[in-house]
Amino acid sequence: MANFLARRFISSLVSVIGATLAIFVLIQFHNDPRQLFVPDSGFGITEEQWIALGDRMGLNDPLWKQYLTWMGNTLRGDLGVSLARDRAVVDLIKGKIGATIQLAVGGWIFAIALGVPMGVLAAVKRGTFWDYFGRSVAIVGQAAPPFVTALVAIWIFAVWLEWLPAGGRSAEFKPSEYILPCVALGWGAAASLMRLTRSSMLEVLDSEYIRLARAKGVKWNWVIYKHALRNALIAPVTSALLVFSSWLNGALVVEIVFSWPGIGYDALFRAVNDNDFPLLLGTVFIFILIYLVFATLADIAYTLIDPRVRLGNSSD
Amino acid sequence: MTTSETPAEINHVDSSSLDAPLNAVKVDRSIFGHIWYFLRKYPVLPAFVLIMLVIAAIIGPTVAPYERDIGPIGDRHLPMFSFTELAPEDQDPPKYGLWPAGYHLFGSDHIGRDVFTRVLHGATVSMQVVMVSLVLGMVIGVTLGVVSGYYGGMTDEVITRFVDIWYAMPFLMVALIVVLIFGRGLTVLLFVLALVAWAGFVRVIRAQVLVLKEMDYVAAARVTGASDIRIMWKHLLPGILNTAIVVGTLNTSSLILSESVLSFVGAGIQPPTPAWGVMTNEGRDYLSIAPHQVLVPSAAIFMVVISLNFLGDWLRDRLDPRLRQID
């Protein structure tokens, strides 16, 4: 276990360094961030001011030194100061990440609550109405991009039926505001979870030990929950954990459609539009960190569910 | 999951069929049963939708009844299947006489442009973007996969690690950063989508090459003095082409999704060019008064992606059933 975690940690470190370095290099191709401080009208700024600005922002150092400075600060928990908003990046991200996490967790619960039972049902009642129903839901979920799901949901439940608000998030907790965003975000994941659960459940139900259990006279429900489900859940659990990384794709779109004040829209999207590179780097760093944590958790969850998997051998 | 009858599903014995006689294979079908069986066995409907898409993409801009980017402002927010409410002298005449004057099949949008015309143009835009970026991504991905599998060692290690890191990056974030750095435009979009497409090929192709390169005929080619390049090009590439086609088809739908998401967010195709994602984004402010502006392009995206998924699954089962494991 310790060996595995150590190796995992090193490869994660390589990923983080590679990704942030790539962005650091790419950003050099773009406009100088100092131009953000030059007003559109008037006389621009003088040469001395330009250099002084560069000194303040550390732009006059060579690239490797800039990167090392950023890395060192990051390790001390300081992600720099946002250029466009003149606030600490850590504070900005801290202020926004709560809304995104609430959205992600809500969508996640929806995805699991819909996907896994439906997959089990579709596999156990194979070829019946439930199977076709579940598979249709999955097909729809996989073919609709998140903004289509979100807008159709708004159209039906907010515009037409007027049951739920069409977007926004109040300061105090209001459950009705969470339903549509979470459903829109979780739908696609529910579809893939359902497919995975169904196919792995079918595979397990087809195996010898299930037949043996049935031949011994074990009750069918007992066979499903005790013998089949536990073995069939391995793939869906991994996928459900990894889904958190794809949230970062889906969440941005969902946040835009529902005017959700989360990290995707308020930090990432606006950082890109404002050419705000400390904020951009910080957000990317946080995103990759989240992904790696969940990838590691997925691997550990493997062993807890399936004792046959030994961590030392599972990573290549 | 495909609706065609795959080998795995036929072999599956479920508990209810265990007591059925083994020779009960021959089934009497009614005429509707035959049609249903045929529809399940071959991807007729998906193929139909995709053929319509290709036709729309090729001749759409020519036969589209109205102007693409301009329309009479007085005609805005017309519902589907409606005629214009403008006086004849204020109308935009259809581009040719066959089309009933002032008729808007899919209604009009927030500045009076005909939605049907724009959907047709959108098909062309989508097709062009997806085709070019798919081929680009395929070339990059297959090349890296073959090189990685064939040479092994350090080359393999570097490429595989890079693909791993690439998978760790949220795609939309990568796309936004690339768009930020290189500006918004068609070329950048093609480049971004190729970046999405290539990684999916590398692992699958590499695994295949690892098997193929141990074959006797590759050893024979090497003994006769063929160079590495020649072995890869002449002896390995033909063996992996099937796989590449299957992965390509399965990737096309995710490319269309990515393109529409990017255009929706504003990082892809720029208005007034009518990509379906752009149209959806423009229409979303008018969801309460003119929902068709969102629903028509959404339905177009949805139908094309669903058809591609079906066709991809079918092709996979036909050409390369081993790939079933990858999804």
- Look at A135 and B1 and tell me if their CB atoms are within 8 Å: yes
- What is the percent of chain B with per-residue pLDDT over 90, rounded to a whole number? 4
Residue with tokens 């969470």: A178
B247-265 tens-digit pLDDT: 888 788 888 888 888 888 8
Q: How far is B323 from chain A (nearest CA, A)?
A: 14
Q: Which residues neighbour A234 within 8 Å (Cβ) at sequence distance 6 or greater?
A: A200, A302, A305, A306
- The pLDDT confidence band at residue A245, using thresholds 50, 70 and 90, is low
- The pLDDT confidence band at residue B140, using thresholds 50, 70 and 90, is very high
pLDDT score, position B9: 45
- What is the percent of chain B with per-residue pLDDT over 70, rounded to a whole number? 86
CA distance A253 to B277: 12
Tokens of A312: 């030392």
Say whether pLDDT at B118 is over 80: yes
- What are the b/e assignments for A251-269, b being 16+ CB within 10 Å? bbbbbbbbebebbbbbbbb
Q: Which residues of B touch A154 (CB under 8 A)?
A: 287
Q: Which residues of A touch B12 (CB under 8 A)?
A: 126, 202, 206
Say whether pLDDT at B184 is over 70: yes
Instruction: Nearest by CB to B264, from A23, A139, A147: name it.
Output: A147
Residues, chain A: 316
Mean pLDDT of A164-186: 80
Residue B82 is inside which H or E element, if any? strand B82-83
Instruction: Nearest by CB to B298, from A148, A257, A284: name it.
Output: A148
B41-83 tens-digit pLDDT: 788 888 888 898 888 888 888 888 888 887 777 777 888 887 7
Tokens of B70: 């301009």
- The pLDDT confidence band at residue B143, using thresholds 50, 70 and 90, is very high
**What percent of chain B is helix, strand and coil (3-state, nearest 5)?**
70, 0, 30
Q: Which residues of B touch A269 (CB under 8 A)?
A: 176, 265
Number of H helices, E strands in chain A: 15, 0
A103-138 tens-digit pLDDT: 888 888 898 888 888 888 888 888 788 888 888 888
Say whether pLDDT at B327 is over 60: no
Which residue of chain B has the CA closest to A136?
B1
- The pLDDT confidence band at residue B138, using thresholds 50, 70 and 90, is very high
Which residue of chain B has the CA closest to A135?
B1
pLDDT score, position B176: 76
- Look at B14 and A288 and tell me if their CB atoms are within 8 Å: no
Averaged pLDDT of chain A: 78
pTM exceeding 0.80: no
pLDDT score, position B2: 41
pLDDT score, position A137: 84
Q: Which of A34-48, A78-92, A200-214 has the lowest mean pLDDT?
A: A34-48
Q: Compare A84 and B106 and report the one with higher pLDDT.
A: B106
Instruction: Nearest by CB to B291, from A159, A256, A283: name it.
Output: A159
- What are the b/e assignments for B274-307, b being 16+ CB within 10 Å? bbbbbbbbbbbebbeebbbbbbbbbbbbbbbbbb
- Look at B264 and A288 and tell me if their CB atoms are within 8 Å: no
pLDDT score, position B8: 45
Instruction: Nearest by CB to B280, from A14, A147, A199: name it.
Output: A147
- Look at B261 and A139 and tell me if their CB atoms are within 8 Å: no
B12, amino acid identity: H
Closest by alpha carbon to A136, among A204, A198, A220? Answer: A198
Q: Compare A176 and A109 and report the one with higher pLDDT.
A: A109
Q: How far is A15 from chain B (nearest CA, A)?
A: 5
- Rounded-to-10 torsion of CA B191, B196, B201, B206: 90
- Look at B172 and A249 and tell me if their CB atoms are within 8 Å: yes
pLDDT score, position A42: 66
Say whether pLDDT at B21 is over 60: no
- The pLDDT confidence band at residue A207, using thresholds 50, 70 and 90, is confident
Q: How far is B197 from chain A (nearest CA, A)?
A: 16
Burial of A42 (0-12, 13-18, 19+ CB in 10 A): exposed
Say whether pLDDT at A166 is over 60: yes
- The pLDDT confidence band at residue B26, using thresholds 50, 70 and 90, is low
pLDDT score, position B144: 92
| Chain B interface residues (partner A, CB cutoff 8 A) | 1, 12-15, 161-162, 164-165, 168-173, 176-182, 253, 257, 260-261, 264-265, 277, 280-281, 284, 287-288, 291, 294-295, 298, 301-302, 305-306, 309, 327
Q: Compare A20 and B146 and report the one with higher pLDDT.
A: B146
- Look at B181 and A26 and tell me if their CB atoms are within 8 Å: yes
Q: Compare B265 and A238 and report the one with higher pLDDT.
A: B265
pLDDT score, position A96: 82
Which residue of chain A has the CA closest to B325?
A199
Q: Which residues of A touch B165 (CB under 8 A)?
A: 14-15, 18-19
Say whether pLDDT at B87 is over 80: no
